[in-house]
Amino acid sequence: MEKIMRLTSGLRWQGLKRYTAITLPILLLAACANTETASPEAAKPTATVSPKPAAVVVPPQQAELKTLIGLQDRLYDVAAPLLVNNALLCRNNARNLLGFTAKTKYSFTAEFLAAASSLGFTDQLQITGVLAGSGAAKSGLQRGDLLVAIQDKPAPVGADAERQTAMMLGPLVNGRNNIKVTVARSGSNLTMNVPLTRACAFGIELGNTDNVISYADGRRVLVSAGMMKFTQNDDELALVIAKEMAHNSLTHASRQRNTATMTGVIDNLIRLRPDATPLSGAAGVKPFPQQLDASADRLALYMVARAGYKVDDAGAFWQRLATQYPATVLNGYTAIHPATDYRMKAIDQTVSDIQAKQATGTTIQP
C-alpha cells in the first residue's frame, strides 16, 4: 500500500522521512559580572550600558531540519499547479487526490526525532502542506491542522500512522467525489467534506546533493538541492519539475530500460547522507536520445504554460544550464541530456506555438 503522501497529494516527503537528528540543548549566553575590587576612580559614576540580549543557539539538527523542510515546501509549492492543472497530459498517471500531506514526528527517523518534536510534531498526523487548487485547499484545510478522523473513523496515531492512514484512504479515493475529514485547529474540531481532485499522481522528491541534477523513474520526480539553488525563480524550477513529469508521462525510463537504475539513484539521493560513490559519475544512468529528450521538452512546456508559469525564457534557462554544467560534468544534468542544440530547436518552436495559442485564447495543449 502506498504511503499517505502519494494518496493524498501526489507529493511525498521521503527525503525528509529518512533524516535523522539528535537535539542539543538550547544554550543561552549570558554576560558575566566583573568581580574584581573596584578602585576609587572606577567608583565614579559612569554611563549606564544596557546588557546585550542573550544569544540563542539553535541545535544544529533543528536548523538543518528547518532548512530541508523549507526546500521541500518550495518544491511542493511550485509543483502543485503542475500536478493539479495537467491531469489531462499525465495520461495513465492521473489519480483522485485529497490534496494535502501529513506527518508525525515519526516521519523523521531516529536521529531527527527530537528535532522534529522541537518543531511541534507529535504522535498525531499534522497537515504539512496543502496542494494549491486542490479540494483540500478549497475546503479550507490548513497547514498545522491535526488529523482527527476520516469518514468519522479515528485517524491513526503513532509510529505507523502514515501506513495505517494510507490503508484507510486507499479504498475511499475511488468511486466517490469527496471524503469527510475532521481536523483539530486552535483547540476545536472542524469537520469538512474535502472534494477529490483529479491530478498527476507523481511523487515529488528532494535530492540531498549539491549536484545540479534531476531524475524521473516513472512514478517519482527528484530535484536536487543543487538544482534548486541553480534555478533563479519559480518559472525555472517549474521547467525542471515539468521536464521530469514529462519523462514519466511518456514512459521514457521504461522505454530506455532504465527504470531500476533511476529508482536506485532516487532512493539513494533522498537519504540524509547519500552514498557519494555513484555521485562522482553518471550513476549508471543512460543518456537520453535526442528525440526522447526533445519530446519531453515539448510536453513539459505545455505543462508549464497550463500551470500558469512563463515559458518565454525556457530556451535561455536550458542553455545557461548546459553552458555552466556541460556534458563533461558526469554528475550534472547535461551528461544525461546531451543533445542541447537539438533540444533548443524543439524548445524554441514549442514556445512560439504556445505563445500563439495564448495570444488567440486557444486551449493550451499539444
Average pLDDT, the chain: 84
Please report the sign of the dihedral spanned by the C-alpha atoms of residue 5, residue 6, residue 7, residue 9.
positive
Sketch out the chain's domains with CATH numbers: 4-20+59-199 (2.30.42.10), 203-360 (no CATH)
What span, in angstroms and rounded, lies between the C-alpha atoms of 321 and 333? 8
The answer to whether the beta carbons of residues 168 and 153 sit under 8 Å apart is yes
Written as nine digits, the cell of 161 is 500512522
Partners of 182 in beta bridges = 149, 191
Local confidence band at 180 (pLDDT 50, 70, 90 cut-offs): very high
- Per-residue confidence at 69, pLDDT binned at 50, 70, 90? confident
Q: Where are the alpha helices (DSSP H) in 119-178?
A: 135-139, 161-169
Q: Are 100 and 136 in contact (CB under 8 A)?
A: yes
Distances in whole angstroms, Cα of residue 116 to Cα of each of 109, 110, 137, 314: 10, 10, 25, 38
- Phi, psi for 177 (deg, rounded to 5): -95, -25
Greater pLDDT, 83 or 15: 83
Going by pLDDT thresholds of 50, 70 and 90, the confidence category of residue 55 is low
CA 25/CA 62 separation, integer angstroms: 11
For the record, the C-alpha cell of 149 comes out as 478522523
DSSP per position, 299-359: HHHHHHHHTT---TTHHHHHHHHHHHS-TTSTTSHHHHS--HHHHHHHHHHHHHHHHHHHH
Tens digit of each residue's pLDDT (9 = 90 or more) over 296-340: 999 999 999 999 999 999 999 999 999 999 999 988 999 999 999
Lowest mean pLDDT among 5-9, 82-86, 296-300, 328-332: 5-9
Q: What is the pLDDT of residues 12-47, one digit of tens each?
A: 333 344 433 322 222 222 223 333 334 444 444 455
- Whose cell is 510534531? That residue is 121
Predicted local confidence at residue 50, as pLDDT:
57
Instruction: Give residues with Cβ within 8 angstroms of 110, minimum separation 6.
Output: 20
Cα distances (Å, whole numbers) of residue 314 to 235, 290, 332:
9, 17, 19
pLDDT digits (tens, 9 = 90+) for 226-278: 999 999 999 999 999 999 999 999 999 999 999 999 999 999 998 877 888 87
- Structure confidence at residue 173 as a pLDDT band (50, 70, 90): confident
pLDDT of 161 = 94
DSSP letter, residue 217: -
For residue range 87-146, list pLDDT tens digits in order: 999 988 999 988 888 999 998 767 788 888 998 999 999 999 898 889 999 999 999 999
Q: Per-residue pLDDT averaged across 166-173, rounded?
A: 86
Q: Which of 213, 76, 65, 220 is nearest to 136 (CA)?
A: 76
